[in-house]
Amino acid sequence: MRIKEIEAKIAKLEASPRFSGLARLSDIELDRQIVAGLNEMASEWPSFGAMVTNLRGSPMPADKELADGIETFITHWQAQQRQKVVQ
């Protein structure tokens, strides 16, 4: 791909409401949206742990990767919340 084509595609992405809307959000607001989405996903299970366990047990590699990503995000998010309480 030529540079001009790449620049045009980037400009198109940046102009899209989806991209620009997320780009304007703070890290805190992005985290809130992720947590809200995870809460919605986890509503089918008794807990996040149960959801992650279920995803890990799936034969689909994408489900296992999703479980890892969810677990990593939740671990970091919980650590940040504990840090805020201490401060």
pLDDT at 21: 65
pLDDT at 8: 77
- pLDDT by 10s per residue, the chain, length 87: 566 777 777 777 767 766 666 667 787 888 888 888 888 888 888 988 898 999 899 998 888 898 899 889 888 888 888 888 887
What's the predicted TM-score (pTM) here?
A: 0.63
- Give the three-state DSSP class for 60: coil
Structure tokens at 52: 């992650």
pLDDT at 20: 60
Instruction: Report which secondary-structure segment, H or E, holds 79.
Output: helix 61-86
